[in-house]
Structure 1
Amino acid sequence: MSVALPADGRAGTSAVQPGTTRKVTFGGRASTVVPVGAQAVSDPLDLGLRPGSNLTVTLYLADGQASDAVTSHPGSRTTSYMTSGNHVDDPDLGGAATTAHWYFLSGVEVLSKPAGAAAVVVGDSLTDGRGSTTDGNDRWPDRLLARLHARPETSGVAVLNQAAGGNRVLNDGLGPNASARFDRDVLAQSGVGWLILFEGVNDIGTADATEAAQRKVAEDLIAAYDQLVVRAHAQGILVYGATLTPFGGNSGYDDPDGHREAARQTVNRWIRTSGRFDTVLDFDRAVRDPERPRRLREAWDTGDHLHLNPAGYQALADAVPVRLFGPRRTSACARPGVGPTILEGGPTAPKGTGSP
Structure 2
Amino acid sequence: MKQKEMQDMPVQDLALMKEYGSATVVSTASNFIMDREEAFTHTYRTYVRLREQGKLELRFWFSNAVDSTWDQGGVAKGGQPGGNWLIEAAFVADGGTGRNGEVSGQSQVPVTFGGSLTRLVRPGETFWSDSVEIELPQGHDLAFSWTIASGSGRSVPYNTEQMLVTAYNTPGKHADEPEGDLFALSENLLVMPAWIGYKKQSHLRMVFFGDSITQGVRTAKDGYDYWVARIADGLGADYNVWNIGSGWARAYDAAADGPWLHKAKQGDQVLIALGVNDIDIGERSAEELLQDLTNIVSTLKANNSEVDIILFTVPPFNFSGNREHIWRKVNEVLRTAPPAGVSRVFDIAAVLSQPAPHEHQVRPEFMSPGNDPHPNGLAGKAVAEAFLQWYERKELR
Q: Which residue of 2 aligns with 1:162?
A: 244
Report if aligned partners of 1:169, 1:179 keep a CA contact under 8 Å in 2: no
Distance 1:299 1:28 in 2: 52
Corresponding letter in the other structure for 2:337 = S
- The 5 Å alignment of 1:62-73 reads 63-66=149-152, 68-73=154-159
Report if aligned partners of 2:255, 2:261 keep a CA contact under 8 Å in 1: no
Report if aligned partners of 1:295, 1:305 keep a CA contact under 8 Å in 2: no
Q: Once superposed, what is the RMSD of the aligned Cα atoms? A: 2.8
**Cα distance, 1:96–1:298 mapped onto 2, change above 3 Å:** same
Q: Which residue of 1 aligns with 2:233?
A: 146
1:31-69 deviations in Å (ceiling 9; x for gaps):
1111122233110112356999742111123x4454632
Distance 2:95 2:393 in 1: 31
Report if aligned partners of 1:197, 1:241 keep a CA contact under 8 Å in 2: yes
Say which of 310, 313, 321 aligns to 1:243: 313
Of all paired residues, the percent bearing the same amino acid is: 24
- The 5 Å alignment of 1:176-255 reads 179-187=257-265, 189=266, 192-208=267-283, 217-234=285-302, 235=304, 236-248=306-318, 254-255=319-320
Q: Which residue of 2 aligns with 1:342?
A: none
**Cα distance, 1:183–1:201 mapped onto 2, change above 3 Å:** closer
How many residues were matched structurally?
299
**Cα distance, 1:86–1:202 mapped onto 2, change above 3 Å:** same
1:15: how far off?
Answer: 2.3
**Cα distance, 1:288–1:94 mapped onto 2, change above 3 Å:** farther
Report if aligned partners of 1:71, 1:104 keep a CA contact under 8 Å in 2: no
**Cα distance, 1:94–1:323 mapped onto 2, change above 3 Å:** farther
Distance 1:138 1:298 in 2: 18
More strand per residue: 2
Report if aligned partners of 2:346, 2:387 keep a CA contact under 8 Å in 1: yes
Distance 1:311 1:281 in 2: 19
1:324: how far off?
Answer: 3.6
Q: Which residue of 1 aligns with 2:195?
A: 107
Q: Which residue of 2 aligns with 1:344?
A: none
Provide the secondary structure at the position in 2 that maps to 1:202.
helix
Structure 2's unaligned 5+ residue stretches are 1-89
Q: Which residue of 2 aligns with 1:289?
A: 354
Greater relative CO (CA pairs within 8 A, separation 6+): 1
Q: Which residue of 1 aligns with 2:327?
A: 264
Provide the secondary structure at the position in 1 that maps to 2:107.
coil
Report if aligned partners of 2:209, 2:243 keep a CA contact under 8 Å in 1: yes
Distance 2:367 2:381 in 1: 12
Q: Which residue of 1 aligns with 2:384?
A: 317
1:179: how far off?
Answer: 4.5
Provide the secondary structure at the position in 1 that maps to 2:198.
coil
- The 5 Å alignment of 1:46-61 reads 46-47=133-134, 54-61=141-148
Distance 1:261 1:294 in 2: 6
Structure 1's unaligned 5+ residue stretches are 150-154, 209-213, 249-253, 330-356
1:214-236 deviations in Å (ceiling 9; x for gaps):
6xx21122122122222223412
1:203: how far off?
Answer: 0.8
Distance 2:256 2:208 in 1: 11
Distance 1:222 1:52 in 2: 43
Provide the secondary structure at the position in 1 that maps to 2:209.
strand
Corresponding letter in the other structure for 1:311 = L
Report if aligned partners of 1:168, 1:199 keep a CA contact under 8 Å in 2: yes
Provide the secondary structure at the position in 2 that maps to 1:271.
helix
Distance 1:161 1:204 in 2: 22
Corresponding letter in the other structure for 1:2 = F
**Cα distance, 1:161–1:327 mapped onto 2, change above 3 Å:** same
Say which of 87, 91, 115 aligns to 1:2: 91
Please report the TM-score for the alignment, with normalisation by the length of structure 1.
Answer: 0.75
